[in-house]
Structure 1
Amino acid sequence: MGSRSSHAARIPDVDSLRRETGFSQASLRRLYDRFQALDRTGKGYLSRLDLQQIGALAVNPLGDRIIDSFFPDGSLRLDFPGFVRVLAHFRPVDEEEEGNRDPKEPEPLNSRMNKLRFAFQLYDLDRDGKISRHEMLQALRLMVGVQVTEEQLESIADRTVQEADEDGDGAVSFLEFAKSLEKMNIEQKMSIRILK
């Protein structure tokens, strides 16, 4: 039976991760346990296959895109710090913590803008900084499946892009995306109580 302090010592760069992600040391310990449970073979990193074993991602229509977000730049391995950084986007916003933030510090990973950036990249498949009609259509196909006709999907994609596209270039930039969602409580919708 190991002590809590020796357990924390196994977590790579725990103090830096705490500052960067906002997770408490106890939360990081639980996330580390989850990381190790997903790493069934003990290789010290996670692969796409490891994440595909998570039931909630397996049934999520955007599951593959969410899994892709754990592997930026086409990497094949996900270390613990990378795992925690992605999960930090889904950490609920703490109003008190937000009010006491030093403006010189980087914006927290769970801030509204970072949550929006994360959501935007789920749609911007070619990473060109814009969501095209084609990319919107692909996302809609994943989300609604066969419940809607192709013609209806195309109409929804056209209308969605047209309503958000303020500069008339036929695509949605990040700023247009953020503006179109300004009335949505993204902090609530993109928060998961990962740990109590």
Structure 2
Amino acid sequence: GETFRPAIRKSQINACDQEERERDKLSQFCRLKNSKRKMGNTSSMLTQYDIEEVQSHCQDLFEQQEILSLYQRFCQLDRNAKGFISSDEFLSVPEFAMNPLSQRLLKMVDGLNFKDFVAFLSAFSAKASLKQKVKLIFQVYDSDCNGKVSFNDIMQVLRDLSGSFMSDEQREQVLGQVMKEAGYTSDSFLTLEDFIKVFGSCKPEMNVEIPVD
């Protein structure tokens, strides 16, 4: 009987060890699935499926190699590997820090995971349509996010863009004329469709390169 009890204890220990190893494997598997699902966990590498999913999310405006480069940049910006980028981290991209609309743009990018980071940048792609570019500009102008922009909303952005090169009087004249030609007045509130009608022929230059070095 004395030699039998240690054997039982040893088998029990082995069984417990086996169960613990199985739990560890399951836990690791769940963490891996979760990180891939979030598409923002910078500790995991992108799979071919991930790349194609991101490519579809940004309407194929970036090639697969460009997405890999953007992922490298995303990981560099996401300093603590949180899975998303804060507005302060985004400011470390010189092209955005120097942009006169940077403070307005930061409200749109704070907390983006990788998929949404790429989707946001897709409007700056050379392959983006005019409608996609104008839609982003509309979102910048729509400061209170109510789906409409007023004459004053647009005036404020024009102030940011033109600085001291134009007076308020000049800005009002130019904007008033553009809106009048499209059939609107300074009292009009423009929806996205209205905005595209007024400014859709301006062909905005919004190409921005995100360095990965």
Please, what TM-score do these two structures have when normalized by structure 1?
0.70
In the alignment, residue 85 of structure 1 is paired with which amino acid?
Answer: A
In the alignment, residue 57 of structure 2 is paired with which amino acid?
Answer: E
Q: Where in structure 2 are there 5+ consecutive unaligned residues?
A: 1-43
Q: Where in structure 1 are there 5+ consecutive unaligned residues?
A: 1-5, 72-76, 94-109
Cα RMSD of the aligned pairs, angstroms, is: 2.8
- DSSP-derived class of the 1:131 partner: coil
Other-structure match for 1:8: 46
Question: Which structure has the bigger radius of gyration?
Answer: 2
How far has the Cα of 1:32 moved from its partner?
0.7
Other-structure match for 1:47: 86
In the alignment, residue 139 of structure 1 is paired with which amino acid?
Answer: V
Q: 1:129 to 1:163 in 2, by over 3 A?
A: farther
For 1:89 and 1:56, locate their aligned partners in 2 and report how far apart those are by CA, in whole Å. 14
For 1:38 and 1:78, locate their aligned partners in 2 and report how far apart those are by CA, in whole Å. 11
- DSSP-derived class of the 1:13 partner: helix
Q: Is the 8 A contact 1:133 1:161 kept in 2?
A: no
Other-structure match for 1:89: 123
Q: Is the 8 A contact 1:123 1:139 kept in 2?
A: yes
For 1:26 and 1:154, locate their aligned partners in 2 and report how far apart those are by CA, in whole Å. 45
In the alignment, residue 16 of structure 1 is paired with which amino acid?
Answer: E
For 2:95 and 2:125, locate their aligned partners in 1 and report how far apart those are by CA, in whole Å. 17
Q: Compare 148-157 and 77-86 and name the one that shifted more.
A: 148-157
For 2:122 and 2:142, locate their aligned partners in 1 and report how far apart those are by CA, in whole Å. 21
Other-structure match for 1:120: 138
Residue 19 of structure 1 pairs with residue 82 of structure 2: no
Deviations 1:171-192 (A, max 9, x none): 3332232122343335xx2334
Q: 1:133 to 1:192 in 2, by over 3 A?
A: same
State the identity as a percent: 30
For 2:97 and 2:208, locate their aligned partners in 1 and report how far apart those are by CA, in whole Å. 17
Aligned pair count?
Answer: 166
- DSSP-derived class of the 1:15 partner: helix
Residue 61 of structure 1 pairs with residue 73 of structure 2: no
Matches within 5 A, 1:21-40: 21=58, 22=60, 23-40=62-79
In the alignment, residue 53 of structure 2 is paired with which amino acid?
Answer: S
Deviations 1:34-78 (A, max 9, x none): 01111223322210111122222122111112222224xxxxx22
For 1:50 and 1:165, locate their aligned partners in 2 and report how far apart those are by CA, in whole Å. 42
Residue 135 of structure 1 pairs with residue 153 of structure 2: yes
Please, what TM-score do these two structures have when normalized by structure 2?
0.65
Other-structure match for 1:191: 207
In the alignment, residue 91 of structure 2 is paired with which amino acid?
Answer: Q
